[in-house]
Amino acid sequence: MTAVHRAALEAGGPVLRFDNPLDESGNAVGMPVVVNLFGTTERVAAGLGIGLDGLDDLGAFLAALRAPTPPDGLRDALSRWPMLKAALATRPRIARSAPVQQVVHEGGDADLSGIPVQTHWPGDAGPLITWPVVITRPHGTAAEDVGLYNAGIYRVQVIGRDRAIMRWLPQRGGAAHHRGWARAGEKTPVAIALGADPATLLSAALPLPETVSELTFAGALNGARPRLVAARTVPLMVPAEAEIILEGWVSGTETAPEGPFGDHTGYYNPAEPFPVMQVTAITHRKDPLYLSTYTGRPPDEPAIIGEVFNRLALPTIRGQIPEIRDLWLPPAACSYRIAVVSIDKRYPGQARRVMMALWGMLPQFSYTKMIVAVDSDIDPRNWDDIAWALATRMDPARDVMLLENTPMDYLDFASPRAGLAGKMGIDATTKIDTETTREWGTVMRTAPEDAAFAADLLARRLPRLGV
């Protein structure tokens, strides 16, 4: 199934549905599998409730959430009405019953083998749930405090009929909640939504401010208040319209080796200990669909989502570093390990300042090992433009900046030590003032009137020639 999915994604193909999945023994599982939901940037934008042309507005909305400014009079307040309306839509509606609880399996009847969880790669340790929306809340809060919930996409390995491994990294919200419950000597209540609506899925992956709940922010994307329902065996509210909910408790002490699994780097990551979840209930619709994906060397769905999120993050980044004009994180570079940034350059040393600001001010660039800075006349998404800038505006002895012993993704096998590595900044901008002692060259450009004349001439003549 993964091979078929990958071939369809690379061809820009449609969403796929496998109606009759079989387990490793050839037995029918009886639950259809849906993949490639976010296989194109257009479908990712649709999941956010907009078209690609609406990404800039949504990015501005996200930037305003991080640094809101008070309305300047009635006119400005009215201009913000769409934002206010969206914020009001995030208040959840609590339902007494829900489609996701049409079928309930509790206690000994809760059996994960009834879900067609895939083993994606030949070297994988076993079945891996790849699109789970993992819902947690802080210790000391009530189930009704939905605004304090965290919803994240974490890897979940199935290790038994009612046991799974929760792989949440220390810096993630779910892990922080788990530490709070563990300090109190208690297990962490967890609910996992499988087949949540696209807005909820993408909200769980968005880099939202800590004060904004991913679960309720989906209401802003959907333009409607989210419907939640009380879980059956854990003190949590869960998405009422999801396909499947897994309920359970994550131990504060018990761990199991998770992995190895194929990862976004294109390599298998080693097995490591992570907390164990005891499943206490599985609820689902009468005819549920299991939503799945794979993670591997790009292209994959996370990389395509990353392209869209790149655009959404740009207004927030500009709010911190105003001279940035555009920024691209090449999907082929694992979506975050290389960045190309174009700037409006005005003074010597500015490119280096921007690169250090990206590394130092914005946490999402902590694991970016190389940044290439270019001028605003260079398209940072065009490799030919980037290569030309590197070849004509960069001197290796002068324009390469190296840093040592900086934070790095521990999955980066090229790093000399796990979690610690170097970074490289390349200044491929035009050198000005004291940055050079030589006269800089003048860029050749066609005169605008000549370009317009050529375009008009070709538009009139080429069709006659059958071109």
Burial 189-228 (b: 16+ CB within 10 A, else e): bbbbbbbbbbbbbbbbbbebeeebbbbbbbbbbbeeebbb
Residue 64 CB coordination number (10 Å): 15
CA 202 – CA 312 distance, rounded (Å): 12
Helices (H), 362-409: 383-393, 396-399
The token duo for 11 is 């061809």
* DSSP E strand boundaries for 270-353: 272-284, 290-291, 324-328, 338-343
CA 127 – CA 21 distance, rounded (Å): 14
Question: Do residues 259 and 157 lie in contact, with contact meaning Cβ atoms separated by under 8 Å?
Answer: yes
Burial class (CB in 10 A: 0-12, 13-18, 19+), 404: exposed
Q: Which amino acid is at 72?
A: D
The token duo for 260 is 């190895």
Say if residue 299 is preceded by a cis peptide, omega within 30 of 0. Answer: yes
CA 183 – CA 54 distance, rounded (Å): 44
Question: Do residues 46 and 199 lie in contact, with contact meaning Cβ atoms separated by under 8 Å?
Answer: no
Beta bridge partners of 258: 272
Burial 32-58 (b: 16+ CB within 10 A, else e): ebbbbbbbbeebbbebbbeeeeebeeb
Q: Match 């609506």 to its residue by tokens.
A: 197
Task: Using CA atoms of 310, 315, 318, 322 in order, give the dihedral in degrees to the nearest 10.
Answer: 140
Beta bridge partners of 92: none
Burial 106-126 (b: 16+ CB within 10 A, else e): eeeebebebbbbbbbbeebbe
CA 117 – CA 131 distance, rounded (Å): 11
Question: Do residues 174 and 148 lie in contact, with contact meaning Cβ atoms separated by under 8 Å?
Answer: no
Beta bridge partners of 326: 342
- 263 is a catalytic site residue: yes
Fill in the DSSP letter of residue 12.
T
Beta bridge partners of 38: none
Catalytic residue among 19, 23, 124, 263: 263
Residues annotated as catalytic are 263
